[in-house]
Structure 1
Amino acid sequence: MRIVAVVNNKGGVGKTTITANLGAGLAARGLKVLMIDLDPQASLTKSFFTVDESQLFLSKLQTVGAWFRAPDKGRAQVLADLVFSPPRCNALIGKQGGWLELVPSDPLIINSESLIPGAVDNSGHIKPSKFVALHRRLAEDLSDPAFSKYDVVLVDCAPAFSLTTKMATVAADMLLMPARPDFLSTEAIQVMGQRLLELTKAFNQHREAAPAEAPPMRMPRVAVLFTMVQWYNGSPIDVQAQFINEVKALGVPVFDTLIRDRSNAYAASGRHGVPTIMAGGVAPEVRANLHDCVDELLKMFERL
């Protein structure tokens, strides 16, 4: 099983769109895919419903908030019980052999520390004795036999380096960072690198201070995927090409596939209740662009 956390401190870079389309694309290739929505906005969850359906369906679903509130004993089974199969999407996948499932988000996880029993002290800070177990919570539960049927787990993270994002980072084999090719996103990539170093150091210090069975944390593989790229004469426009090259010069692995700026095609997917890669009426070049991204991710899995 490969675990991929889709992260970026900066919002509006296409994290949820990329997660939904990669999940659907991988499932269409015959893989068993689980998506976990750890963004309190629940945009990934809503990606699999039409606008008219979303409120009705979401009101009936159990959300990931139940997992955060669960006591340690039997916690992995709580997470497994929250899994939901989007029927429309899986019907389109058909007989390819794969399927797509989802753990829905919950707006309350914006304060996730306060939901976890015994996680914080009276001042609202994480107890040092709980640090390692808390950050390995998702990793431990995904190692449960209940999740062994999945080939890939995609975790859509909030646009902040919060506890939920840290949990996903500790669990991940790979961090996928969607980013726009502009100054702010380039800066966010550098900031994320620093946050990863800080988390790795803090995790391993807490582990040494209170020896536990948990393995030491190692830096996961990071790959940047540029989104919203504007094209001219077969190439990104000059100003965006400059930022793409600057990130490559940092030594950060970058997808060769560039997700082009076709906001109308992605915005329309809400009418269909399925990701753009599966939606009807989508221009062939938009769908092909997304499939190229799926192909490249699969090649990265082979190198992990």
Structure 2
Amino acid sequence: MCKVIAIANQKGGVGKTTTTGNLGVGLAKQGKKVLLIDADAQGSLTASLGYTEPDAMEISLATVMGSLIKDEEVEPMEGILHHEEGIDLMPGNIELSGLEVSLVNVMSREHIMQEYIGMVRDYYDYILIDCMPSLGMITINAFACSDSILIPVQAAYLPVKGLQQLIKTIGKVKRQITPELEIEGILLTMVDSRTNYARDISAMLKEAYGSRVKIFENIIPISVRAAEISAEGVSIYKHDPKGKVASAYNSLTEEVLANEQ
């Protein structure tokens, strides 16, 4: 059984891409077969895994979805890249912006990515989708084909406040498109645990959402080492294996695995 998790927040800069990459490698280290899908037109996940020119790629998520829209033959594993740390990647790039616009006129437009996931899910235990920081058509596609959504939130007032819109959208997709869709959990990122402010935000989050949504016990601390990894093309496990961020992502991986029990 493959589990599909979308990693989403309509606000940028909250650690979505970092979480997708490190959770993916964490799951691979636990012996799971993992595919990461870069569903962001900026191609940040693709670039952070060392593929520095996402826009120059011949095959990306946009080309595969474009072929499916035109009813063309698609080879399931075509375009998938194999990363040295044991994960696979379907790259994303700027072409997703054009695809987002053209999806408006497509029949069953919310289900194009689902069609692609249906072709590859038998090969994997986990598929993680790094969503773009908007609630547009590509993100709705990602929600429609996911089993659950993991929401990284920066430990600050405005990002926490912005969660209401996202949770509303997830509720709408659940009612209208994917009745089985769940929220995997809210993950606090970039936490400076030396400050009272971070503790206050954490308490506010629990008070506002804790009764309805799982909030991960584990938090991701703020760290310069974590900020460096996107330029290195590797995960935190390789860049700073003994650091606090690697340890935090390790604990997150265990929590995600425990959700399966």
Q: TM-score with structure 2 length normalisation? A: 0.89
Residue 231 of structure 1 aligns to a residue in which SS? coil
Q: Quick check: 1:81 aligned with 2:78?
A: yes
Q: Is the 8 A contact 2:55 2:93 kept in 1?
A: no
C-alpha distance in structure 2 between counterparts of 1:47 and 1:79, whole Å: 24
Quote the residue 1:103 is aligned against: 90
Match of 1:28 in 2: 29
1:242 to 186, 189, 200: 200
Give the residue type in structure 2 aligned to 1:135. E
2:116 is matched with which residue?
141
The reply on whether 1:285 has 2:259 as its aligned counterpart is no
Retained in 2: the 8 A contact 1:169–1:220?
A: no
Quick check: 1:230 aligned with 2:227? no
Which residue is 1:301 aligned to?
260
Alignment match, 1:161: 135
Q: TM-score, normalised by structure 1?
A: 0.77
**Mapped partners of 1:7, 1:43: distance in 2:** 14
Task: Tell me if structure 1 keeps the 8 A contact 2:143–2:173.
Answer: no
Partner of residue 40, structure 1: 41
| Structure 2 CA distance for partners of 1:10 and 1:268, relative to 1, 3 Å | same
Structure 1, residues 165-199: CA drift from partner, whole Å, max 9, x if none? Answer: 11111111110000012211111211111122333
Deviation track 1:2-48 (CA, whole Å, cap 9, x = no partner) reads: 00000001111000000000111111111100000001110100111
Equivalence for 2:10: 9
Gaps spanning 5+ residues in structure 2: where?
none
CA contact (8 A) 1:64 1:79 kept: no
1:170 alignment partner in structure 2: 144
- Out of 208, 218, 243, the residue aligned to residue 257 of structure 1 is 218
CA distance in 1, matches of 2:26, 2:193: 24
State the match for 2:52 in structure 1: 54
Whether the 8 Å CA contact 1:229–1:259 is kept in 2: the answer is: yes
Call closer, same or farther: CA 1:199–1:173 in 2, change over 3 Å. closer
Using a 3 Å threshold, how does the CA distance of structure 1 residues 60 and 197 change in structure 2: closer, same or farther?
closer
Deviations 1:226-275 (A, max 9, x none): 0001122xxxx32222221222222221000010011x101222453211
Quick one: structure 1 residues 71 and 242, their matched pair in 2 at CA, closer, same or farther if it must change by over 3 Å? same
Of all paired residues, the percent bearing the same amino acid is 23
SS of the residue 1:30 aligns to? coil
Deviation at 1:108, TM superposition (A): 2.1
Aligned length: 256
> Secondary structure, in 3 states, of the residue corresponding to 1:81?
coil
Q: How far 1:135 sits from its partner (Å)? A: 1.1
Does 167-176 or 192-201 show the bigger shift?
192-201
Checking the alignment, whether the CA contact within 8 Å between 2:34 and 2:88 is kept in structure 1 is: yes
> What is the aligned partner in structure 1 of residue 234 from structure 2?
274
- The letter for the 1-side match of 2:117 is L
Listed as ranges, the gaps of 5+ residues in structure 1 are 90-98, 121-125, 205-215
2: CA distance, partners of 1:79 / 1:37: 16
Q: Is the 8 A contact 2:32 2:125 kept in 1?
A: yes
Q: CA, structure 1 residues 271+110, in 2 after alignment: closer, same or farther (shift >3 Å)? A: closer
Q: Distance in 1 between matches of 2:100 and 2:48?
A: 26
Which whole-Å CA distance do the structure 2 matches of 1:26 and 1:247 have between them? 27
SS in 2 for 1:175: strand
1:62-114 per-position Cα deviation (integer Å, ceiling 9, x unaligned): 21121232145355x3553121112x33xxxxxxxxx3100000212123244
**Would the alpha carbon gap of residues 11 and 239 (structure 1) be closer, same or farther in structure 2, given more than 3 Å must change?**
same
Query: Quick check: 282-291 or 24-33, which moved more?
Result: 282-291
